[in-house]
Chains A and B, each alone.
Chain A
Amino acid sequence: MSEQKLFSFRNPWFGASVGVSGAIAVLAALAGLIWLPMVQPDLKISGIWDAICSAAGVPRTVPRSGGAQQPDFKTSNVVMTSQMLTHPDQVSIGRGATLAQRCAICHGPQGVSDANSPNLAGQYAAVTYKELNDFKAGARVNAVMSPFAANMGNRDMLDLAAYYSFLPRVPSSHLNDNAPAPQIVITGAPMRNIAPCGACHGDIDIKAGSPWLGGQSAVYIKAQLKAFASGGRRNDISQQMRNIARQMTAEEIDAVALYYEAQP
């Protein structure tokens, strides 16, 4: 082949390709980083340097008039993540077992209730912890639970959550493995913004902070769904459960409650 040198300005291919690529890049940069942002009225650009920074993607906060509208009710202040309390340690479980004696009247000595209070045995630790926290903070209110939670320290709540998650789940006396799942459980109702229950509650996948529902008392599930729907309960972060419950019909709420009660 030719002895021509490749990387040399005497090679027309080199000059042309580098020149053209460079020119396109420079022109595109000038247009994209300076010209276009300068003519965007919404951006309120103060100068060339500002335009470049903004278009290059340097994070900035746009000053806004007026503060955020503050809530007139208490909201949950728990920071939920998917990793939260997934590996409770033995010491914590042991401490939780001692503390749990106080809870046994309603929630049962083995975390299984006969009194339509929620079963806690085998519940995800993050869920129990979050609810205790919300009772304590006043984001969730219950005549019996709120005073209990008010006196708990953070450590107590963590230990209780760890202990209950350690206990094995016990199927309810209404267990019926063959109960057909209602349509609302399997597929939800997409256009009403109802995802399948199991997408969050553990049957299919878990969304952090969503409780396991199997074997839970139907009375309890129904009461909570109604409370979410009416806005009586508002400790679900950013309305994640209210958005769903408010779209459910009374029949669907009944069907879901009965179905989950019969699940292991």
Chain B
Amino acid sequence: MLINKRLILAHFWLAFVVFGLALILGAWQMFVRSPLNAWHFNPELYYRSVTAHGSAMGYVFPTLIAMGFGYAITESALEKPLIGTRWAWAGFALVAVGAVVAMIPVSIGLASVLYTFYPPMVGNPFYYIGVVMVVVGSWIWVALMSINLSIWKRENPERPVPLAMFANVAGSYLWGWTAVGAALEIIFLILPVALGLKSTIDAGLARVFFSWTLHAIVYFWLIPTYIAYYTIFPRAIGGRLYSDAMARISFILFVVVAMPIGMHHLFADPQVGAGFKFMHSVFTGLVALPTLLTVFTICASAEIASRLRGGSGAFGWVRALPWQNPIMLATALSLVMLGFGGAGGLINMSYQLDASIHNTQWITGHFHLIFGGAIVIMYFAIAYDLWPHLTGRALENFGLMRAQLWLWFIGMIVTTFPWHYVGILGMPRRMAFYDYANPAISPQAFSVAISTVGGLILLISGVLFFVVLIRGQMAHRSEAGAYRFSVPVHMPERIPVALNSFGLWLALMVGLTVVNYGYPIGQLLVLKETNVPAVYVGASR
């Protein structure tokens, strides 16, 4: 039962428009820095573009998807209208206005600091204010998810929280807490400097705060994808979910261990002690658990669906899966990319192996494969699945959808595999151009050129995606029926209170954050001599 369709559609449309613009920038960036371009251009334009691409793709696009999808889940899983619709619109407006406020200084070159901020470089204050507005807008969503869940639980004391809603609220809490790191960095360290109230900043402390957000934000991006794996995919292919309890445990594990691991981004940083880096490394290992569990559950659910359709054999059942179904295809492609990306991630998280690829093009390849690949392809699938229910019009061109998904997959592989390779060769990331004529780096030129082709394929796929959605908006009316989620094979009769509530897990999340971040942050706060002069970028002539 979807009531506030306009609210949900607004989130999805804005998200995808932002995504489309950022995709164009991304493809342009890949072209200009490749050997296919004669690099006779102002490098500032490149960094401007990277700042816009990263801010849009990292902060605005997935946040809007999580919000829109969250509202859809609330109404359809809890089977009642969203409470707080006005607040939801206010949150949407904050995100939209924040995105514009942030992008104005970026687009005129006043805040080319990249979306990771990089103090002591400091850009125009409106960039940071815009980002904070986006975050605050999303916090309204976090609060609404929590309120809607608790009211429903009060009204339905005997029923287990539907898995989709449980996972959705888990994601919202995770985001609520992980966004605090970047918010503290911006509000207490960067903004006072950007506004001219202060002229020094502790770059090391700022990096620690940012790492608090930087890793768990990936799991926030990931959670809509995992919700789709667990609650859309089995239903869409005519099967059932293998295990409800394991799904809950996976989401709980994300809530608990996604947070105290961010410092694995700081392995090579001098301001954090090795002991805390090691502790974060251990917890980073743990965060592989929910993904391993998920891969198992989803493959098992696929097998159930296949056998229900008459599939047989140890592996023969794979052939009997409904491959013509876009959700099936998207999930399979997503899992393949998750597998490759995850394998790369194991290298990044390793305390020692990280040194050979830290801040190289490998890292760019890694997170594009995970986020741009495994995660975003499921955002497409979610849109395809939800669209008929939101617009009341059918999406019928499965062939076009499959072509779009295949192109996205191929484009992502062609883009990121060469990046991984040149990363191992030592190609540093975030550079506007490279002199490939130089023998020291000329072996990297071919791979970079190939990856540019991948960028073009991604762009084509992006265009097809819009074609599908826009045609869907103009298709004939058809009643899609109620929006439903997958049913587990064995519907649990009783669910332990721990798997039906968040109190314990939030306590552990905050507790572990304090254990793993408390001392490093406290110590850097006390250390005054490491406040260094800010370096303003985009200063006037």
Q: Classify A-B as touching or not with yes or no (CB < 8 A).
A: yes
**Which of A4, A33, A183, A189 is most buried by chain B, counting CB atoms within 10 A of its CB?**
A33
B276–A32 contact, CB under 8 A?
A: yes
For B511, what are the chain A residues with a Cβ–Cβ distance below 8 Å? 21
B433 & A37 in contact (Cβ 8 Å cutoff): no
- Cα distance, A53 to B155, chains bound together (Å): 52
Binary interface profile of A, 11-33, with partner B (CB < 8 Å = 1, else 0)?
10110011001001101110111
Contact with B along A197-212 (1 / 0, CB 8 A): 0110011111010001
Interface range for A: 35 or more
Contact residues, A162-203 vs B (CB, 8 A)? 183, 186-187, 189-191, 196, 198-199, 202-203
B496 at interface, CB cutoff 8 A? yes
Chain B residue at minimum C-beta to C-beta distance from A169: B541
Contacts of B440 in A (CB 8 A): 191
User: Nearest-CB distance from B370 to chain A (Å)?
Assistant: 24
Q: Which residues 28-66 of A sit at the B interface, judged by CB distance below 8 A?
A: 28-29, 31-33, 36-37, 52, 54-59
Is the pair B496, A4 in contact by a Cβ cutoff of 8 Å? yes
- Residue interface bits B22-47, CB-to-A below 8 A is 1, else 0: 00000000000000000111111000
Report the count of interface residues on B (CB-CB < 8 A).
60
A-B contact count (CB 8 A): 146
With known contacts A28-B279, A83-B533, A205-B537, A187–B39 Cβ distance under 8 A: yes
With contacts A1-B158, A56-B519, A186-B42 taken as known, whether A33 is within 8 angstroms of B541 at the C-beta atoms is no
On whether the beta carbons of A205 and B283 are closer than 8 Å, the reply is no
A21-B512, A25-B515, A190-B435 given as contacts; is B282 within 8 A of A58 (CB)? no
Instruction: Return chain B residues, CB-CB under 8 Å to A1.
Output: 157-160, 494-495, 497, 500
Q: Is the CB of B273 within 8 A of A55?
A: yes
A142 adjacent to chain B (CB < 8 Å): no
Which of A28, A52, A189 is B283 in contact with, Cβ under 8 Å?
Answer: A28
Residues from chain B with a CB closer than 8 A to the CB of A2 are 494-497
Evaluate whether A186 and B40 lie within 8 angstroms (CB atoms) in the complex, with A17-B498, A55-B275 already known.
Answer: yes
A11 to chain B: which residues have CB within 8 Å? 496-498
Q: How far is the CB of A144 from chain B (nearest CB, A)?
A: 29
| Cβ-neighbour of A17 out of B43, B504, B519 (below 8 A) | B504
A31's nearest neighbour on chain B, judged by CB, is B278
Judged by a CB distance under 8 angstroms, whether A238 is at the interface is: no
Tell me, rounded to whole Å, the shortest Cβ–Cβ distance linking A204 to chain B.
5
Chain A: residues with CB nearer than 8 A to chain B? Answer: 1-2, 4-7, 11, 13-14, 17-18, 21, 24-25, 27-29, 31-33, 36-37, 52, 54-59, 81-83, 183, 186-187, 189-191, 196, 198-199, 202-206, 208, 212
13 A–B contacts, CB within 8 A, in A order: A1-B494, A4-B496, A7-B503, A11-B496, A11-B498, A32-B276, A56-B276, A56-B520, A56-B523, A58-B273, A191-B440, A198-B42, A205-B537
Q: Closest 6 A-B residue pairs measured CB to CB?
A: A57-B273, A32-B278, A55-B275, A13-B498, A33-B275, A81-B533
